[in-house]
Structure 1
Amino acid sequence: MTTSDERRQQQVFKTYVELERQRVLGEMFADAIRRDIDTKHDNTTDERTNR
């Protein structure tokens, strides 16, 4: 039997773990977007100088 305090503590921990997982995924996604933008920026700069 778990008390209401234990259940609440478990729920808080699950919520923390989920938020931390989302934060890490968000950082990975942001890094991928930055790399993609940097690559596209380099390409468009090259195309403009070739015109």
Structure 2
Amino acid sequence: LKYPLKGGKLCPSSSRGISNVMLETEAMIEVRSGALLCIHTRQDQTK
């Protein structure tokens, strides 16, 4: 990920974690507690 967060804590009122960019074809996200909503969109390769 372009903006890695290792061992960090995300709070609902924070803008951290709102957006990120995959630098490889695969990424791993680990959630220790709580919930995760992940939306993956493909970038248009014809531009």
TM-score bracket, normalised by the shorter chain, equals under 0.3
TM-score normalised by the chain length of structure 2: 0.18
When you count helix as a share of all residues, which structure comes out higher? 1
Structure ranking higher on relative contact order (CA contacts 8 Å, 6+ apart)? 2
TM-score normalised by the chain length of structure 1: 0.18
State the structure with more CA Rg. Answer: 1
